[in-house]
């Protein structure tokens, strides 16, 4: 009997939320339980701290530069992932009933919807109809926006970005975006006969800003404990880093403001976990839980005031270290400290569901114990957000260090094992000269293989 696949993502969720205790209670109790039954990867990394490139790479197993999907706004790119095959296609071609609930941030030509005959397909377009009827702003109101100066090529232009403002969602819960998605997903599962195995993709919006939050969620963690480096800039920060979008979005915010941000973020993360628990319970009721492979991850994280930054778009751990939990029916729970990447997820799913592929992937089956013993590297890229190529960041991490390259600014090197908050740039430390050289060479070789136009010198 073929196993089902339930693939769940959240948006902006950091790796450290899994197992986190705030105000004496678990932030993610259902995911913690799932992690205890499966593989809990503590050192998982996104390929890009930006929604569309990250999700497209996650679906195809190809690095963003290989896909030519490196920014969110891709209207001017003629060839996009035409030859990249998605996880959805593999499942559909193998006889799975494939469904999708939530935003669709995978950019392809032809589109995902044209490649796969979905049994059920629900996206933001469907929720937007409700928003128009109920007068709900889909992406926030004017007050949620912050003007930033964004680099586009060799010039800077003013753009409006979602800031860290916290406000209440004053409509009823049944109109809340993720409640809408999950209610539809639950109804689908209730009616599903499981005559064929299912491939179910659920993309939860929370805890993505703007933080328009149900009051009940704001009250779940009333007095959050903040990390030490809120509003703190690291020693040896590159001179131009304050020109980045994430830094501009965090200007002039005091600790009380960040406490409200964390209350909203933790409440939304806990709510997303609650919804995931409902999906798990429904599968148990249908008798399919023990025949289901679960994958849970996020596209990227959020700084939430650490490094005096907000949102993602940088290479610090809060932005690129993501949660990753994979549960197989016949496997026991284990915590994994090996460095892994979103690029590993597609080959892992294919191999463990016994689905064939002719593609040679960069990633590996990370449920394999021999792979878990390797000294592995994970790579990320950022090339700007909208309109045109902008700020450039490239990074590589291994079991102890992270190296960040910016062709217009100072390099960064962090000893993660000793300095997990990345508060001291060790790039000029003679003690780590060979470490830097090795990581820089690893990054350079990888980027050349991935069709990156950035030459590391």
- DSSP per-residue string spanning 182-219: HHHHHHHHHH---SS-EEEEEE--TTPSSEEE-HHHHT
- Please indicate, yes or no, if residue 111 is contained in any of the structural domains: yes
| Residue bearing tokens 């939430």 | 304
Q: Are 218 and 168 in contact (CB under 8 A)?
A: yes
Domain assignment present for 246? yes
Examine residue 328 and state whether it is found in any structural domain, yes or no.
yes
**What confidence tens digit (pLDDT) does each residue in 343-399 have?**
999 999 999 999 988 888 999 999 999 999 999 999 999 998 877 788 999 999 999
Checking if the pLDDT of 74 tops 90, the result is no
Domain membership of residue 12 as a residue range: 4-135+168-374
Which of 67, 65, 64 shows the shortest CA–CA distance to 79? 67
Alpha carbons 415 and 397: distance in angstroms, whole number: 10
CA–CA distances in Å: residue 213 to residues 178, 220, 268, 288, 299:
12, 11, 7, 33, 21
Taken in order 57, 60, 62, 67, is the CA torsion positive or negative?
negative
- Whether residue 408 is contained in a domain is answered as no
Per the domain annotation, does 382 fall within a domain? no
* Helix, strand or coil, per DSSP, at residue 314: coil
What is the tally of structural domains in the chain? Answer: 1
* 309 pLDDT higher than 90: yes
> d(Cα 426, Cα 416) in Å, to the nearest integer?
11
Model confidence over 431-440: pLDDT tens digits?
999 999 999 9
29-37 vs 255-285: helix crossing angle, rounded to 10: 50
CATH number at 74 reads: 3.40.720.10
Task: Report residue 89's pLDDT band, with 50, 70 and 90 as the boundaries.
Answer: very high
Lowest mean pLDDT, pick from 77-91, 154-168, 295-309: 77-91
Does the residue 55 lie in any domain? yes
Is it the case that residue 332 has pLDDT exceeding 80?
A: no
Does residue 253 lie within any of the structural domains? yes
* Predicted confidence (pLDDT) at residue 55 exceeds the cutoff of 70: yes
Q: What's the helix, strand, coil split of the chain in %, to 5?
A: 35, 20, 45
Is residue 395 a part of any domain in this protein? no
CB atoms within 10 A of CB 233: 14
* pLDDT beyond 70 at 80: no
């Amino acid at each position: 009997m073929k196993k089902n696949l339930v693939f769940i993502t959240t948006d902006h969720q950091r790796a450290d939320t899994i197992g986190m205790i705030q105000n004496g209670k678990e932030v993610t109790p259902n995911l913690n339980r799932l992690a205890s039954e499966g593989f809990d990867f503590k050192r998982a990394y996104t390929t890009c701290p930006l929604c569309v490139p990250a999700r497209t790479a996650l679906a195809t197993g190809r690095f963003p530069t290989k896909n030519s999907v490196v920014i969110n706004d891709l209207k001017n790119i003629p060839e996009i992932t035409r030859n990249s095959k998605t996880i959805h296609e593999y499942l559909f071609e193998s006889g799975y009933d494939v469904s999708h609930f939530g935003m669709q941030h995978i950019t392809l030509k032809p589109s995902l919807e044209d490649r796969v005959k979905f049994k059920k397909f629900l996206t933001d377009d469907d929720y937007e109809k409700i928003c128009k009827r109920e007068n709900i702003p889909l992406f926030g109101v004017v007050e949620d926006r912050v003007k930033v100066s964004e680099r586009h090529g060799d010039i800077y232009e003013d753009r409006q970005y979602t800031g860290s403002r916290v406000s209440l969602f004053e409509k009823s819960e049944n109109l809340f975006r993720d409640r809408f998605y999950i209610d539809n997903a639950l109804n689908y599962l209730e009616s599903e006969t499981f005559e064929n195995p299912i491939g179910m993709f659920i993309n939860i919006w929370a805890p993505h800003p703007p933080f328009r939050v149900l009051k009940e969620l704001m009250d779940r963690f009333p007095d959050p404990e903040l990390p030490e480096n809120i509003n703190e800039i690291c020693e040896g920060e590159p001179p131009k880093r304050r020109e980045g979008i994430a830094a501009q979005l965090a200007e002039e915010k005091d600790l009380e403001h960040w406490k409200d941000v964390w209350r909203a973020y933790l409440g939304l993360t806990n709510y997303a976990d609650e919804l995931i628990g409902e999906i798990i319970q429904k599968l148990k009721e249908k008798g399919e839980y023990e025949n289901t492979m679960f994958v849970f991850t996020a596209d990227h994280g959020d700084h939430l005031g650490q490094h005096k930054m907000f949102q993602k778009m940088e290479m610090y751990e809060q932005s690129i270290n993501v949660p990753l939990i994979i549960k197989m029916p016949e496997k026991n729970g284990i915590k994994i400290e090996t460095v892994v990447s979103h690029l590993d997820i597609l080959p892992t799913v294919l191999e463990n569901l016994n689905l064939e592929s002719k593609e040679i992937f960069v990633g590996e089956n990370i449920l394999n114990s021999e792979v878990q013993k390797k000294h592995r590297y994970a790579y990320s890229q950022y090339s700007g957000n909208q309109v045109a190529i902008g700020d450039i960041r490239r990074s590589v991490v291994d079991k102890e260090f992270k190296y960040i390259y910016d062709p217009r600014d100072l390099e960064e090197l962090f000893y993660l094992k000793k300095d997990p908050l990345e508060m001291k740039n060790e790039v000029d430390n003679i003690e780590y000269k060979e470490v830097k050289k090795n990581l820089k060479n690893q990054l350079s070789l990888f980027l050349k293989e991935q069709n990156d136009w950035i030459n590391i010198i």
